[in-house]
Amino acid sequence: MSPLTFDSCLAAPIRRLIELRQVEGSDYQTQARLLLYFDRFLVARKWAETRLTREAVEAYERTLSGLAPRGRANRMGVLRQLCAYLSRSDPLTYLPEPGRTPSSKTAFAPYIYSEQEVCALLTTAARLPPPDTLRGPTYQTLLGLLYSTGLRIGEAMALKLDNFHRDTARLFIAQGKFRKARWVPLSDSTAKVLACYVDRRRHIPPCSPESPLFLNQRGCHLHHCTVNQCFHCLLEQCGIAGGGHAKPRLHDLRHTFAVHRLLAWYHDPCKTGRRGGAFEEPRDVLRAMDADFVEMPASREYNWCCGGGAAVFLLQRATPLRDKAFKIKIEQVESTGADTVVVSCWLNFEAGRVKNRWGKTWTACWNW
């Protein structure tokens, strides 16, 4: 990503604010881009004062009238951070009142693709020109990965070849939202398709372990604007237009994953369940997500332990007993037909899944 260039009379303090936030540990890239809009506004208005006045702030706010409420709130919130920073050295700087967060009723409603629409998108993507190149398989695999794992598009485009661990059917996300790393388990079918793509991808340079998993025609990282433009062309070819307020977006594949994949079964952990009594709250969350939720007869306080246990997990001599308990848990989950296990104590589930080569997907409900 090319560095942002600020040209207004406040360019220096804006850059210092960005550097300060990044030193404190924040990525601040999105906020920096929002500050760039304000910087361009000052340049266009030929604003020459180094002090931000009420006149300048309110004039900028009027230019945002065409944005959605949340978009206006985001830009004004970042501008208020800049005003607060400037006021430390100039108390006469105008500090706007904190804006109220837009109601959820005005938030953007996601478009949920049907299974037929997803199949049409993947089939059409595979036929993208030019023929006999990796472009079609790249977009087909990328969109399929977004749909089957719920990855964010930025996370998928940032993947490297060595982030795919074929032996354990997992993806390593080195830097997700808030710069957090995590493992993403893959279903057997997703892992198989991704492995076929990687085998073909390794014949096209660059092919070192640190090379991008998904390449453009020039052998470089995919760019969000290019992917988004291609995706909208695919939508048009497939006749997917949406209706009303919910216009189809690339990010909606993540929402669709949540709705389609969650034929879910919830594991009641010992601590929050039998000890804490929190049985219904997690289920209320799943129902609110419109998950196709299934129960087992032995649930809630009668749920079979996963074999982890805060102390048992650390006792090496208890490993055979823990392994036996987890095998019973596998049989119970498989009997429900659920695609996904929703858990809040995920450590033993991941260890058991890898050790038993279990292809089941789990989702940590506290990290959803």
Q: Say what the pLDDT of residue 361 is.
A: 60
pLDDT tens string 17-68: 999 998 887 888 899 999 999 999 999 999 999 899 999 999 999 999 989 8
pLDDT tens digits, 282-293:
777 766 665 666
Higher-confidence position of 295 and 199: 199
**pLDDT for 157:** 95
CA distance 82 to 63: 18
Q: What percent of the chain has pLDDT over 70?
A: 81
Percent of the residues in the chain that have a pLDDT greater than 90, as a whole number: 50
pTM of the model: 0.59
Per-residue pLDDT, averaged over 103-108, amounts to 54
Report the pLDDT value the prediction gives residue 312, as an integer from 0 to 100: 60
Q: Tens digit of pLDDT for each residue in 106-135?
A: 556 788 899 899 999 999 999 999 999 999
Asked if residue 352 lies in contact with residue 292, where contact means CB atoms within 8 angstroms, the answer is no
